[in-house]
Structure 1
Amino acid sequence: MTPVRRAVNLAAFLTQTAQRLPSADALVHGDVRWTWRELDSRVGALAAELTRRGVRAGDCVLLHSANSVELVQTMFAVWRIGAVLAPTNSRLTPDEVVVIARACRPVLMVCHASQPDHATAVACDQVLWIDGTGPDAVSSLPAGAVPDCPVMNGAPAWYFFTSGTSGRPKCAILTHDQMGFVVTNHLCDLMPGTTAEDASLVLAPLSHGAGVHLLTQVVAGARSVLTTGPGLDGAEVWDLVERERVTNMFTVPTILKKIAEHPDAATRDHSSLRHVIYAGAPMFHADQEHARSVLGEVLVQYYGLGEVTGNITVLPPREHGRARPEGMEFGTCGRVRTGMQLAIRDTEGHELGPGETGEICVAGPAVCAGYLDNDEADAAAFRDGWFHTGDLGMTDENGYLYITGRASDMYISGGSNIHPRDIEEKLVAHPDVTEVAVLGMPHPVWGEVGVAVWVGRADEDTLRAWLEPRMARYKVPRHFVQWPELPKSGYGKIVKRTIRERLLAEGWTP
């Protein structure tokens, strides 16, 4: 009989750091500066209140708030009592949060006081408020001390919602032991040498990848600096980098592009930066090169899905600009992460060799325990011992991965498979194109035809003339649509599903 083994509760990361560095800064948010001792004490107070309200180990707590110090407090308080955290992006509508709540069935909701409609819609029996007043406000709780609840291997820590909320949402179950590996791996591969002398700037919502990144700072004792504005403010970003001597940050390509193009990037002191990490979507080569020219060799790219908690490949600063194989229009997303394994497999499950395109599959300790109450999703994603990402790619002779596209993004026009990323890379290389998305739309004769939706000053004739000598004619999009901006998710990703729906709603026809 296999013995049950105890895992390390994620709350222990804070407990240990608060013991080691009690007076050092843990969180900075505007004029607010919490030390590790203060954060630990506030976590204890909230943990005691959650326990008093009947929240038990294994129960789910729904967290809906923009980034704040109280959000971090809530994360660790939930873990401290052995409950499961289900954070949502603060930009979601009340109806979207309701769909998530139905999937994870929370016993209590912690909600920002500026969004009461979300709490009303969820109709949870108990609600605590961030930035509120009165006895139900997180900030008004009396001091309390609660030990870290024992948890075993396989115990869920985080319900990580990985897709949109149209239809049934997919919720990856992240466990305490899995996340312990992920944090170790992040420190090993993404920001080696991080210590209590470092500072991290929080730019993305802590409800997803940025929250995982924050865990690594807690383990190392590095302080996390939160922006104060409701949106991305490049001036504030570079002011904080200079003033707080920020050494690392987690971004997505759209955020990195914006801050690298901001005028202050060229005038403020950012010499403290060592690791500017970006993930979540491929970054166009032209945008990548511009960021390198402005910031220096500090970019760290990683590739991974929520189900693998980002742990598939890494491209460290010294490997940006690596030569790509002949005929490949864009660069690598790096080599496989420490302790992980990937394979390129065809539709029959056969493993493919270098230069052959197939589905990217991954195995290792960073893979989630499965989906919450979703056997259909489990069966589709977990096959033959591998997690199937749904992304298409190839490796070179040295094992470096190149993502050619999302399987669901590929379209078939006149019998030819077309992967949008190659076209998008070429379009965004035009100096008068700032953003672009290429997708397949239905056509009565060709099955699907390519549609390029772009932002910028260039006109359609210019873009056609730009593409035609650079690719086979059948790959050139049949239609071009210019928009003032492209729709993005709450995490800064361009959402092709929304683009397709908007095109159809506006009466697009072939």
Structure 2
Amino acid sequence: MTEICPIHHWANIAPSRTAIQGPQGSLSYRTLDRRLASLCAQLTASGLTPGDRLMAAARGNLEEVLLAWACLRSGIVFCPLNPAFPPARQATLAKRLDVRTFHVRNGEAPDGNWQTLRLDFSHEAQISQLPALDPARPCDTILTSGSSGQPKAVLHRVGNHLASARGSAELIPLDAECGWLLSLPLFHVGGYAIPFRVFLAGARLVMDDRDRPLAARLESEPITHLSLVPTQLWRLLGESFTPRRTRLRELLLGGAAIPAPLVEKLTALGLAPKVSYGLSEMASQVCSGVPTGPGVVGQPLPGREVRIANGEILVRGDTLFDGYVDGDRLDPARDAEGWFHTRDKGYFTEGGELVVEGRLDHRFISGGENIQPEAIEQRLVDHPGVAQAIVVPIDSEEWGARPVAFVDWHGHPVAGAELATWLREMLPGHMVPDAWLPWPDLGEGLKPSRQALASLASEAASDQPCQSV
């Protein structure tokens, strides 16, 4: 059964209400509805039909949000890419996804056998037919982070995102007075999910503006909801951010180990954050809650089911993706009972909250002992001198493998001996890294590539002695 596009719904009920606000101006729900009608007509005129795949380098500016939702209303599968990808990699991914059309704004599309499309985003059109969304229709592909290998293309259906947004609203409500900042990119599932939450509630989508400090924007703009990874929040606090000078109601953290000092500092300022466990395959959030301890991510949201089998987190529900797509092949990637095996290690507390311990495929053996890198990372980021940390294994003739830590400091580096003592207070001695390496330039990705960092650590170990403990 189809349902009316929420933007059209609010265009009829509250046509002058602001739907999108940002550095390029503001759009009311009525204007947004009409611009989408024009874009849908342009997509049809270009020869695109429902089910076709359109690729675009899309971080999340106004035009890119409009394109994503025009594709949604037209039944076209939107395939956003990180704009930082070089043309050769964009072309490889486009071929792999059997893309028919490549949308470009500036410059040219990468070489390939596809149609190049340019659209007029300023034109408006009257609504000729009721814009309906079919929950069963494929609507987008999101590339996984590829932090442990080659990224996979996750194919969602419309209903996955609608269920995700509605379940999220049970814990993190929105109304007409709310504004959610699009602080995460559209090519990441966390960013792609935000407009669904906003438009279903008839709220305001606030566009990102990299030319202005985030703290200043929060103090002057109607931003009530904010999604950040811990690194972004540390930077925000470094801008002398004070919640009481803002309209913030909700701050959602995810994507990495949540440092206890970060939570404590924010709570002391008067804003208690929520943490989230999510994955691309479940259209963003699976569990959310108040951070009460290391790895605690709250209870499953409505429309999601979670269970533990042999220490592994399994998920299913209305938000579960259609499968991994590769050309015209689709891998449903679920077992006979419909469960998706996340390869994340975890357990439930007595109170029913999920605790995520790390990736099963990140675990390695050192001298016969299992080492879960995320356990080391969580303890490291709880140190007041550490902003973020990633632990990877390097080969060892004596032990088979040993942990090495990349550390991003708050100010001056902390002595390795002090960090070793800090770790040994909570972890066994074999989990103390053999070396501490400076935090590398990770580019614009939200998640680092552990394979790339392991290579860097191996090179550092072979080139020169590291700072050992």
State the match for 1:206 in structure 2: 186
Paired AA for residue 450 in structure 1: P
1:266 aligns with 2:242: yes
CA offsets 1:92-143 (integer angstroms, 9 cap, x no match): 2223322321222222222331xx25x1345632221xxxxxxxx4335564
Counterparts of 1:153 and 1:470 in 2: how far apart (Å)?
A: 47
1:177 aligns with 2:159: yes
Does 454-463 or 52-61 show the bigger shift?
Answer: 454-463
State the match for 1:164 in structure 2: 146
Counterparts of 1:274 and 1:165 in 2: how far apart (Å)?
A: 32
Instruction: Mark the CA change 1:140 to 1:34 in structure 2 (over 3 Å): closer, same or farther.
Output: closer
Aligned pairs, how many?
Answer: 460
Instruction: Mark the CA change 1:294 to 1:110 in structure 2 (over 3 Å): closer, same or farther.
Output: farther
1:76 aligns with 2:34: no
State the match for 1:395 in structure 2: 348
1:57-76 to 2 correspondences below 5 Å: 57-76=50-69
2:177 alignment partner, one of 174, 197, 213: 197
The SS at the match of 1:458 is coil
Q: How far does residue 480 in structure 1 lie from its aligned partner after superposition?
A: 2.1
Does 149-158 or 393-402 show the bigger shift?
Answer: 149-158
2:419 alignment partner, one of 436, 448, 463: 463
- Taking only the aligned residue pairs, the percentage that are identical comes to 26
Paired AA for residue 301 in structure 1: V
Instruction: Mark the CA change 1:127 to 1:404 in structure 2 (over 3 Å): closer, same or farther.
Output: same
Q: How far does residue 389 in structure 1 lie from its aligned partner after superposition?
A: 0.7
1:369 alignment partner, one of 322, 337, 340: 322
State the match for 2:452 in structure 1: 498
Counterparts of 1:480 and 1:377 in 2: how far apart (Å)?
A: 42
Counterparts of 2:328 and 2:415 in 1: how far apart (Å)?
A: 48
State the match for 1:227 in structure 2: 208
Counterparts of 1:166 and 1:465 in 2: how far apart (Å)?
A: 30
Q: How far does residue 296 in structure 1 lie from its aligned partner after superposition?
A: 1.7
Q: How far does residue 148 in structure 1 lie from its aligned partner after superposition?
A: 5.3
Does 464-473 or 302-311 show the bigger shift?
Answer: 464-473
State the match for 1:19 in structure 2: 12
- Check whether the contact 2:161–2:196 (CA below 8 A) recurs between aligned residues: no
State the match for 2:2 in structure 1: 7
Counterparts of 2:453 and 2:260 in 1: how far apart (Å)?
A: 23
State the match for 1:349 in structure 2: none
Instruction: Mark the CA change 1:494 to 1:163 in structure 2 (over 3 Å): closer, same or farther.
Output: closer
Higher relative contact order (CA 8 A, sep 6+): 2
- Check whether the contact 2:154–2:280 (CA below 8 A) recurs between aligned residues: yes
1:477 alignment partner, one of 418, 430, 433: 433
Instruction: Mark the CA change 1:167 to 1:360 in structure 2 (over 3 Å): closer, same or farther.
Output: closer
Q: How far does residue 386 in structure 1 lie from its aligned partner after superposition?
A: 1.0
Unaligned runs of 5+ in 2: none
The SS at the match of 1:390 is strand
Counterparts of 2:135 and 2:15 in 1: how far apart (Å)?
A: 29
State the match for 1:415 in structure 2: 368
Does 15-24 or 239-248 show the bigger shift?
Answer: 239-248
The SS at the match of 1:471 is coil
Instruction: Mark the CA change 1:47 to 1:146 in structure 2 (over 3 Å): closer, same or farther.
Output: farther
- Check whether the contact 1:43–1:73 (CA below 8 A) recurs between aligned residues: yes
Q: How far does residue 214 in structure 1 lie from its aligned partner after superposition?
A: 1.6
- Check whether the contact 1:103–1:169 (CA below 8 A) recurs between aligned residues: no
Instruction: Mark the CA change 1:409 to 1:402 in structure 2 (over 3 Å): closer, same or farther.
Output: same
1:91-102 to 2 correspondences below 5 Å: 91-102=84-95
- Check whether the contact 2:147–2:450 (CA below 8 A) recurs between aligned residues: no
State the match for 1:332 in structure 2: 296
Paired AA for residue 182 in structure 1: S
Paired AA for residue 84 in structure 1: V
- Check whether the contact 2:52–2:76 (CA below 8 A) recurs between aligned residues: yes
The SS at the match of 1:344 is strand
1:429-468 to 2 correspondences below 5 Å: 429-456=382-409, 457-468=413-424
Counterparts of 1:228 and 1:27 in 2: how far apart (Å)?
A: 13
1:253 aligns with 2:243: no
State the match for 1:109 in structure 2: 102
Counterparts of 1:444 and 1:468 in 2: how far apart (Å)?
A: 24
Q: How far does residue 367 in structure 1 lie from its aligned partner after superposition?
A: 0.7
State the match for 1:120 in structure 2: 110
Counterparts of 1:423 and 1:167 in 2: how far apart (Å)?
A: 21
Instruction: Mark the CA change 1:379 to 1:217 in structure 2 (over 3 Å): closer, same or farther.
Output: closer
CA offsets 1:322-371 (integer angstroms, 9 cap, x no match): 3x5xxxxx15111111232211111xxxxxxxxxxx11001211111111
Instruction: Mark the CA change 1:447 to 1:379 in structure 2 (over 3 Å): closer, same or farther.
Output: farther
